[in-house]
């Protein structure tokens, strides 16, 4: 038996970090990731994300988030104000663009909200 949407949202809410919401931006990339997770859960979206604590078996250059939203999929690469894209990330963004897909590079929570609301 599967979960109802309400049961899943309650489960996700319990898992969400309990840090206070800070709409002004991030102090580091991990904080920005937490803000994105919290906003996705608030909206009932599904954020797919690899671990930041260890190297995973993800595709080189893969964006930080693949978000299943209401009727669309959003690709997000989160960086701090001074963070630089790796060569692999630049290549992935360019290749995806050739296929008609946008990988959004954001540097603040406000950037993320603009993409969500567009």
Per residue in 97-113, pLDDT (tens digit) is 999 999 999 999 999 99
pLDDT of 98: 95
Domain 5-116 has CATH 2.60.40.3470: no
Strand order in the sheet with 103-106: 46-49, 65-69, 72-78, 103-106
pLDDT of residue 24: 47
Q: Which of 57, 69, 61 is nearest to 87 (CA)?
A: 61
Per-residue pLDDT of the chain (118 residues; tens, 9 = 90+): 577 766 666 666 666 554 444 444 456 788 899 999 999 999 999 999 876 555 656 788 899 999 999 899 999 999 988 888 999 999 999 999 999 999 999 999 999 999 999 8
What pTM, to 2 d.p., does this model score? 0.73
Q: Which two tokens stand for residue 49?
A: 């994300």
Reduced to 3 states, what is the DSSP secondary structure of residue 8?
A: helix
The domain segmentation of the chain, as residue ranges, is: 5-116
Upper half-sphere CA count for residue 109 (Cβ side, 13 Å): 19
């Amino acid at each position: 038996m599967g979960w109802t949407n309400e049961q899943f949202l309650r489960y996700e809410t319990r898992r969400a970090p309990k840090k206070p919401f800070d709409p002004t931006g991030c102090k580091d990339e991990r904080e920005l990731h937490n803000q994105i997770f919290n906003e996705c859960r608030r909206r009932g979206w599904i954020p797919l994300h690899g671990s930041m604590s260890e190297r995973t078996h993800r595709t080189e250059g893969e964006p930080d988030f693949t978000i299943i939203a209401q009727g669309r999929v959003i690709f997000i690469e989160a960086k701090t104000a001074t963070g630089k894209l790796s060569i692999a990330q630049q290549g992935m963004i360019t290749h995806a663009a050739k296929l008609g897909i946008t990988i959004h590079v954001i540097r603040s929570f406000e950037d993320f909200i603009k993409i969500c609301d567009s």
